[in-house]
Structure 1
Amino acid sequence: MENTFLSVIIPAYNEEARIKNTLEKIHSYLKNQDYTYEIIIVNDGSTDNTWALVNEIAQKIKEVRILKNEKNRGKGFTIKKGFLNAKGKYLLFTDADLSTPIEEVEKLISWLKKGYDIAIGSRALKESHIQIHQPWYRELAGRIFNLFVQAMAVPGIKDTQCGFKCFAQKAALEICERQKIEKFSFDVEMLYIGRKLGYKIKEVPICWFNNPHTKVNFLKDGYRMCLDLIRIRLNELKGMYD
């Protein structure tokens, strides 16, 4: 793995129902590409059969690596752990439900090759292809949240929450060194830090399918995500991102 081109990081919390299918799809696609890769599953303290299933798959697919949180820490902490252990030139994180098909990674990589440091999948651009939409109230809440995001953190980025983002290794590691948020608003924080450090960010239209079995609680997690925007500003004032 010393000359790995792409590392794919997948956070997994109680994903026994879909993790096998997800890994098979990713491996099936990547094994036919002309670059080297690794797939890193970070088990975030699952209480179901996720750990056993991933171990079984890792015995059969040499490109699969597994990491483990002893208890549930959150998506931000989990992806950070995956990034810090990755060996790729480019580091992609994707959700375990594959709402964005793995084939879309080529769109992100193409922009990194053009000199961008971070390329993020976006559902909010007019060129994006949303094949299955979220319920109307989630889409509305997402638009309202993005207004706060643009006002308080990363103006100009229309979709910070799509779980499909690719980083050049240097950018990923420097951002992780400063990352503080462990839950869902880590995306905003990573982009905020990246922009502060002067990294070039490209928002890229992608194909996306809504998965109705999301683990994001509409009210509870939405409230926490808004509080995290305030935390980001406070962290900035304290010099925690310098």
Structure 2
Amino acid sequence: ARERLKDARIETRLLENFPNRGKGAAVRAGLLAARKPIGLFFDADLSTPLGETPKLIEPIANGEIDIALGSRALDRGLIGIHQPWRREQAGRAFNLLVRTATGLPFWDTQCGFKAFRLDVCRPILEAARLDGFAFDVELLYLAQHAGLRTREIPVRWNHAEGSKVSFFRDSLRMLREVIALRARA
């Protein structure tokens, strides 16, 4: 991923996160360390092609929104290679649970492709506590309660083998985190 970014002339900086505290902790540290007005994170397997970046960056740069989240759910025709059926159904069920438990209006909170206007998002990044895979839900939940303008945007996406997400272990953990998030509110 780093080489692809370099080829695209996108400025990057490597941050080390030891010991590993989880995806949420790593993404939060990266966004808080960002020096530009807009921060973007994406999955290292580039399941969402970097060519989709303008879809998220432009509405933020134009002042229309504060957070842009890539979505596989809004236009499933943009998915080139689908996840295995069971995993796709679990994702849909998780997002239904998220919508029900939090009131968030989004259909795909877990797509690993999001952009943030950092001047207004820094307080929610600093307030966030979840370090695991449900950190996306927490950020969006905090953003909604802070009145930030958020938009879900359809993006191209391809499943890549080798995911570090364990279907059973991580699903239960994410479920507990979402329920705890709702209880904290």
TM range (shorter): over 0.9
**Are 1:203 and 2:152 an aligned pair?**
yes
C-alpha contact (below 8 Å) 2:41/2:113 kept by paired residues: yes
C-alpha contact (below 8 Å) 2:5/2:11 kept by paired residues: no
Where is the strand percentage greater, Structure 1 or Structure 2?
1
Q: Tell me what 2:11 maps to.
A: 38
**Using the alignment, how far apart are the partners of 2:83 and 2:94 within structure 1?**
15
Aligned residues: 184
2:116 alignment partner, SS class: strand
Q: Tell me what 2:42 maps to.
A: 94
How big is the shift at 1:67?
1.6
Unaligned runs of at least 5 residues, structure 2: none
Q: Which amino acid aligns with 2:17?
A: N
% identity of equivalent residues: 42
**Using the alignment, how far apart are the partners of 2:168 and 2:18 within structure 1?**
27
**Using the alignment, how far apart are the partners of 2:19 and 2:56 within structure 1?**
32
**Are 1:27 and 2:6 an aligned pair?**
yes
Unaligned runs of at least 5 residues, structure 1: 1-21, 32-36, 40-64, 237-242
TM-score by length of 2: 0.95
Q: Tell me what 2:15 maps to.
A: 67
Deviation beyond 4 Å, 4+ runs, structure 1: none
Q: Tell me what 1:110 maps to.
A: 58
2:92 alignment partner, SS class: helix
Whose radius of gyration is greater, 1 or 2? 1
TM-score by length of 1: 0.73
> What per-residue deviation string (whole Å, max 9, x for no partner) do you get for residues 132-167 of structure 1?
000000011011111100011243200000000000
Where is the helix percentage greater, Structure 1 or Structure 2?
2
Q: Judging changes above 3 Å, is the alpha-carbon distance between structure 1 residues 114 and 84 closer, same or farther for their aligned structure 2 residues?
A: closer
Q: Which amino acid aligns with 2:3?
A: E
RMSD of Structure 2 on Structure 1 (CA): 1.3
C-alpha contact (below 8 Å) 1:131/1:209 kept by paired residues: yes
1:210 alignment partner, SS class: coil
C-alpha contact (below 8 Å) 2:138/2:181 kept by paired residues: yes
Q: Judging changes above 3 Å, is the alpha-carbon distance between structure 1 residues 160 and 154 closer, same or farther for their aligned structure 2 residues?
A: farther
C-alpha contact (below 8 Å) 2:81/2:157 kept by paired residues: yes
C-alpha contact (below 8 Å) 2:82/2:158 kept by paired residues: yes
